[in-house]
Amino acid sequence: MNLLHIAWRNMQQRGLATILTMFSMTLGVSLVVLVLSLSWIITESFDRNSNVGYHMIVGAKGGSLQLALNTVFYLSEPIEVIPYEEYLELMPGAEARPNEIKKIGGLVADPERKGLFCEYTNGGFAIPVCLGDYFGPFRVVGTTPAFFTSLRFGPASDQEYQFQSGRNMLDYSEENGYFEAVLGAQVARQQGKKVGDKIKTTHGDPEGEGHGQEFTVVGILAPTGTPNDRAAFINLEGFYLIEDHARAFEDKSNPDAEKESVGRNETVQPPRLPLEKRDLTAVLVKAGDPIFAVSMQRPINKRLRVQAVSPVDEITKMLGMFITPVRAAFLALTVVVCIVSAISILVSIYNSMNERKRDIAVMRALGARRDVVVLVVLLESLLIAIGGGVAGWFIGHGIGVAYSGTIQRNTGITVGFFNTMTVYEFWLVPGLMLLATLAGVIPAFVAYRTNVSQNLGS
């Protein structure tokens, strides 16, 4: 019979107290694991979103954080709009601007020249987005099909958007004209929409006035774990054709420029909203080379109406402002939980010491040295710590796995048994178990000091 066996028997003898103490330890560890998992999910969610897949957002001058929040996370309201001509300057390739002008038609200055920043974006992309409408509680994003073909997402910005059903919207289709929509996974689920359904948007806020224009859902995105799961995407051309979305003709782009009217050379498709009536919320820009992103930012910011902000910088700033303190609070909470669990073990074993003094005295009378009885008491707290710790670890991760479906639907993040483990867990859970074991030191000291002669007859 070894000391571990003796410790185990002592624990069995105090069965209920042992189980309750172990349960307290289990709760403590599972709470620590859950808090750390939650912290991981939040961080992972922001990490995923910080890799937005483009270098900069070009939008109206104003608060840079608001522009990033609005464009990346669809939070807050758009600051202001920018003229469509700004997007023309950013389109990649020398032919892109004149071609787009010919395709749309309207009043524009110098229609034949190339875009000012087309060399920078050549090899990259510029994707226009228009915000302001809602579908239920979700933001509506007016954009082009390039949003899903050029943009990538994920930690390495290398994952292509997949459709769980349907297809990407088209710039124009015979069947639906300019009025096609793609729904994020969460939007489709919560609004109960499927491919082929019609949706209508509301203006300004979720409770706002409804637009009469219907869009046909042609695709539903697979979950991405990005804010795009919570957005409804409609064709930019369709967005412009919604009532009240056209700018009343008032040339804000560049009053000094001499403008000329360009007629549309396309006769097959129905007319689009002319250039002078188009505004945008922002343009998502990926430069042909990351170094260009830095060099083009300055000249863009010198322009009258627009600014270029780096979403990564803004998100990192936001992480520093909000997420880091939240994570610190979580960690502080786990430390408190650790201490409470350790104290519960201390109290449980310490309270048992009075009734165990006779047993300790008997062991000593049988030849057990003081350090042996100390070891037995420490082994008891170690067994409680290991038992409670392992059970708590499994329960904590088990709860995460049990709710993985809900978490994935809401955040797109897959929660498995092991993938939520962080470096903190490698320290905190064994640390908690060590702390719980050390909680046995005080009772062990009582055991050490037990007077054999006095307690033998009691």
Partner 1 sequence: MLDIKHLTKSFSLPDRTRLPILDIPSFSIATGEQVVLIGESGGGKTTLLHCIAGIMAPDKGSIKIEGIELAKLSEAGRDRVRAAKLGYVFQTFNLLHGFSALENVRLGMTFAHGKHDLKRAAELLDKVGLGNRLHHRPAALSVGQQQRVAVARALANRPKLLLADEPTANIDPANQQLIIDLIRDCCRDEAISLLLVTHSLQVAEQFDRVEKLDQINQVHADC
In this chain, which of 13, 162, 295, 324 binds partner 1, going by CB under 8 A? 13
**Nearer CB in complex with partner 1: 6/169:** 6
**Nearer CB in complex with partner 1: 13/164:** 13
For the record, the structure tokens of 130 come out as 């228009």
Tell me the per-residue interface mask from 308 to 347 with partner 1, x by CB under 8 A, - otherwise. ----------------------------------------
* Phi, psi of 178, deg, nearest 5: -95, 5
Stretch binding partner 1 (CB under 8 A), from 6-14, 39-47, 189-197, 280-288? 6-14
Contact 400, 415 (CB under 8 A): yes
Decide: is 10 part of the binding site for partner 1 (CB under 8 A): yes
Decide: is 248 part of the binding site for partner 1 (CB under 8 A): no
Stretch binding partner 1 (CB under 8 A), from 8-16, 46-54, 393-401, 415-423? 8-16
Q: How far apart are CA 276 and CA 286, in angstroms?
A: 25
In three-state form (DSSP H/G/I as H, E/B as E, the rest C), the secondary structure along 350-416 is HHHHHHHHHHHHHHHHCCCCHHHHHHHHHHHHHHHHHHHHHHHHHHHHHHHHHCHHHHHHHHCCCCC
Minimum distance of partner 1 from residue 23's CB (angstroms)? 20
Closest to 179 (Cα-Cα) out of 159, 163, 199:
199
153-175 exposure pattern, b = at least 16 Cβ within 10 A, e = fewer = beeeeebebebeebebbeebeee
Contact 428, 438 (CB under 8 A): no
- State the number of binding residues for partner 1 (CB under 8 A): 27
**Nearer CB in complex with partner 1: 307/352:** 352
Minimum distance of partner 1 from residue 364's CB (angstroms)? 7
Closest to 311 (Cα-Cα) out of 30, 49, 38, 68:
68
Q: How far apart are CA 262 and CA 271, in angstroms?
A: 13
Helix, strand or coil for residue 105? coil
For the record, the structure tokens of 324 come out as 């880091």
- Scanning residues 343 to 372, which ones bind partner 1 (CB under 8 A)? 358-359, 361-372
**Nearer CB in complex with partner 1: 194/449:** 449
Minimum distance of partner 1 from residue 367's CB (angstroms)? 2
Minimum distance of partner 1 from residue 30's CB (angstroms)? 29
- Scanning residues 413 to 452, which ones bind partner 1 (CB under 8 A)? 452
Q: How far apart are CA 319 and CA 68, in angstroms?
A: 13
Minimum distance of partner 1 from residue 361's CB (angstroms)? 8
**Nearer CB in complex with partner 1: 102/370:** 370
Decide: is 1 part of the binding site for partner 1 (CB under 8 A): yes
**Nearer CB in complex with partner 1: 192/367:** 367
Residues that bind partner 1 (CB under 8 A): 1-3, 5-6, 9-10, 12-13, 358-359, 361-372, 452-453, 456-457
